[in-house]
Structure 1
Amino acid sequence: MPLTAKLLILALAAQVLLTFAILVLMGRERVPRIMSGEIPMADIAVDRTAYPLRARLLSNNFDNQFQLPVLFYIAALLALWTNGVGWVEVLLAWLFVVLRYIHAAIHTTSNSLLPRFSAYTAGMIVLAALWVWLVLRLVVLAPSI
């Protein structure tokens, strides 16, 4: 397996790790409050407003890991499936993942909207560039069969 493919798989793994880390942190905020009776189950059956702010931020960020990252997973898997993994894909993939970590760190701590929005938008632009590059490389620039 080429080094570029391995590096892309590691970027995928890093994004998955972020998702699981947020899930674990969210569980550490939520479960003790429910188990102790501090928050009755009926209060969280429909919405999250009964949780304290930190638990809601983690929950919102966990939900966010199933938005743009889904398009990232598809792009990365497409590149791997077509043996179309070059250094451009690797660079864009890792840049996207780093921006997701930055976004998550801001979202789950200060939740400062301008830096959070900037990180999200930068990640979206990088992901769009990855998709444009993949389409160009695999459809337009690919040798015909």
Structure 2
Amino acid sequence: MTNNITLLVAATLAMVLLTFLVGARLLYTRVTEMRQKRIHPQAVATSSKMAAKLENVQTADNFRNLFEVPVLFYALVAVSLSVQHTPVWLAYGAWLFVLLRMAHSIIHCGYNRVMHRLVAFLGSFLVIVCLWLTFFLSLLGRTA
């Protein structure tokens, strides 16, 4: 396995680990709040009921976010590996994306300053857009 592939797979594993960590934090915050407020699990069986009864929803919002834009990251990694085109800039760009998503999650699950979170989100979004565009163009150049 080349160094570029190793870096790319490691970035993907880091993104998966981030998702697992936020998921575990979600479970902890939900159970803690429900116990403190003595909320029966059936009382929050739907998302609308949950929103009405629970106050700490930042982690749940962040967990959902990890299944939105990051899907484009996972798709890019899968495509690059399947066509065996994993240039070094893609590996480094993948790590930049992951680091920005980590910052986004830390802010969102922590002190939740919207403008700080927005900077991390926009940064990661621009990175993934640039990675896809550059990847597409590099593939065109490779096949030409």
Aligned residue pair count: 141
Amino acid at match of 1:104: S
* Cα distance in 2 between the residues matched to 1:5 and 1:51: 43
- Structure-to-structure mapping, 1:54-73, within 5 angstroms: 56-73=57-74
Large movers: runs of 4+ above 3 Å: 32-37
Unaligned runs of 5+ in 2: none
Q: Which moved more, 1:3-12 or 1:43-52?
A: 43-52
Compute the displacement of 1:72 (Å).
Answer: 0.3
Compute the displacement of 1:29 (Å).
Answer: 1.4
Unaligned runs of 5+ in 1: none
Residue 104 (structure 1) aligned with residue 101 (structure 2): no
**Which position in structure 1 is the counterpart of 2:17?**
17
TM-score between both structures, scaled by the size of structure 1: 0.91
* Cα distance in 2 between the residues matched to 1:102 and 1:33: 25
Compute the displacement of 1:33 (Å).
Answer: 4.5
* Cα distance in 2 between the residues matched to 1:15 and 1:143: 30
Greater share of residues in helix = 2
Deviation digits for residues 50-91 of structure 1, max 9, x if unmatched? 2232xx111110000000100000001111111110111011
**Which position in structure 1 is the counterpart of 2:123?**
122
Residue 92 (structure 1) aligned with residue 93 (structure 2): yes
* Cα distance in 2 between the residues matched to 1:107 and 1:33: 18
Deviation digits for residues 31-62 of structure 1, max 9, x if unmatched? 34546771122331122322232xx1111100
SS of the equivalent of 1:66 reads coil
Amino acid at match of 1:2: T
Q: 1:108 to 1:125 in 2, by over 3 A?
A: same
Percent identity over the alignment? 30
TM-score between both structures, scaled by the size of structure 2: 0.91
* Cα distance in 1 between the residues matched to 2:94 and 2:39: 40
What is the CA RMSD across the aligned residues, in angstroms?
1.6
SS of the equivalent of 1:71 reads helix
Residue 40 (structure 1) aligned with residue 40 (structure 2): yes
SS of the equivalent of 1:132 reads helix
Q: 1:33 to 1:106 in 2, by over 3 A?
A: closer
Deviation digits for residues 108-133 of structure 1, max 9, x if unmatched? 11110001011000000000011001
Contact residue 39 and residue 51 of structure 1 kept, 8 A? no
